[in-house]
């Protein structure tokens, strides 16, 4: 964008919005957008089927302070450990059927490209 790229960005969180605004990135709300051409985000884990887990351990520090972890939309976060998840599609459906559960951190059959970056600058791309 510093070199003239003209794009509109829908931030994924309040923190992302603040960082983007500080860099002069053109932010817009999701509601008037007809089509999103590209989404990017981080994940904590990914499997060979391109299923993702986001948010694992997100509340760890706050939980040790005895505070409740609340999302940007004022929802509570509950971290759960399931060990190896062999059937993420089934687990996603079961979690979302629990009364009071708004969403979960499993992103099943959504990702098309995974880019893994390493501390030494190496980047590996995996395409579905």
Element spanning 123, H or E:
strand 123-127
Strands across the sheet containing 52-53: 45-46, 52-53, 106-107
* DSSP conformation class of 116: E
- The answer to whether 63 is a known catalytic residue is yes
For 28-64, the DSSP string reads --STT-S---------SEE-TT--EE--TTTTHHHHH
CB 1 within 8 Å of CB 7 = yes
Alpha-carbon dihedral sign for residues 28, 30, 32, 33: positive
Which entry of 15, 34, 45, 63 is annotated as an active-site residue?
63
Catalytic positions, please?
63
């Amino acid at each position: 964008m510093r070199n003239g790229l003209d794009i509109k960005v829908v931030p994924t969180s309040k923190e992302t919005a603040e960082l983007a605004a500080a860099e002069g990135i053109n932010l817009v709300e999701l509601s008037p957008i007809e089509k999103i051409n590209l989404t990017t985000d981080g994940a904590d884990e990914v499997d060979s089927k391109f299923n993702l887990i986001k948010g694992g351990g997100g509340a760890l520090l706050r939980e040790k302070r005895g505070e409740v972890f609340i999302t940007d939309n004022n929802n509570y976060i509950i971290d759960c450990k399931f060990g190896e998840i062999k059937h993420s599609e089934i687990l996603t459906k079961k979690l979302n059927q629990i009364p009071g559960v708004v969403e979960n951190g499993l992103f099943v059959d959504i990702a098309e490209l995974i880019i893994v970056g390493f501390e030494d600058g190496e980047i590996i791309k995996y395409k579905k």
